[in-house]
Amino acid sequence: MGVDRISGGYVNLDNASPVLVTVAFVKRYVALEGGDGSGKSTIAAALSARLEALGNDVIVVREPGGTQVGEAIRGLLLDSEKLDDWAEVFLFAAQRAELAREVIVPALEAGGWVISDRTYYSSIAYQGRGRGLGEERVRHINEVGLDGVVPDWVFVLDVDPVSALARQHDPDRIGKQGVEFQEAVRASYIALADTDDKVSIVDGNRTVEEIVDLIVEAVS
């Protein structure tokens, strides 16, 4: 598969604050999504290098993490032996809100690009469908906290879960959930591409250069 859709934009701009309207006009916020082992971190680094070579200021952020608070929450989310499913949802949402306000908004307002290794679309797929908590419920919780600071483009790196999980060197708590869980996550991403104009599916088996070419073409 190649890129299915190219689109972008912010929601509820009629009621947005002046700061969020300013951010929305920038349209330089790119999110990379996909199952565990799909290659998001590799593509984030390569895309950042390409955009910088074109003369842009770029920051790469990761979720969970990216701030002092976020990195502390990352440890709870990924290293805990057990965590309540709804606690997982709210911890992800909390670190995400902190990252948006502390890092992403300032970068966009300064005219730079933001490349995010995961966003709240991960929670929609992982907790919403993978955990069976409800995709729309999880989306709503996150969008309230983000208050309009959402990506313009979401590129899902699609890789067969069996192959993707085999790529992992040291899986975290969520990465150990197994193939059935990852299949549910993948199904959620594919469904999102059918209903959300921001979401595009990219064949994660393409070369890094090919994937970066597709993304740069889409956001240019």
User: What is the mean predicted confidence (pLDDT) over 114-118?
Assistant: 98
Beta bridge partners of 32: 117, 155
How many of the other CB atoms lie within 10 Å of CB of 43? 23
pLDDT in tens, 3-42: 434 333 333 334 433 444 445 455 899 999 999 889 999 9
Q: Give CATH for domain 13-219.
A: 3.40.50.300
Domain ranges within the chain, ordered by starting residue: 13-219
Identify whether the C-beta of residue 113 lies closer than 8 Å to the C-beta of residue 215: no
Percent of the residues in the chain that have a pLDDT greater than 90, as a whole number: 75
- Crossing angle of helices 85-99/135-146, nearest 10°? 30
How many Cα neighbours within 13 Å face the side chain of 59?
18
The pLDDT value given to residue 139 = 97
Q: Assess whether pLDDT exceeds 60 at residue 117.
A: yes
Show the CA angle centred on residue 146, arms to residues 172 and 202, nearest 5°.
55
pLDDT band at 97 (very low <50, low <70, confident <90, very high): very high
Q: Assess whether pLDDT exceeds 70 at residue 73.
A: yes
Q: Assess whether pLDDT exceeds 50 at residue 159.
A: yes
| Model confidence, pTM | 0.86
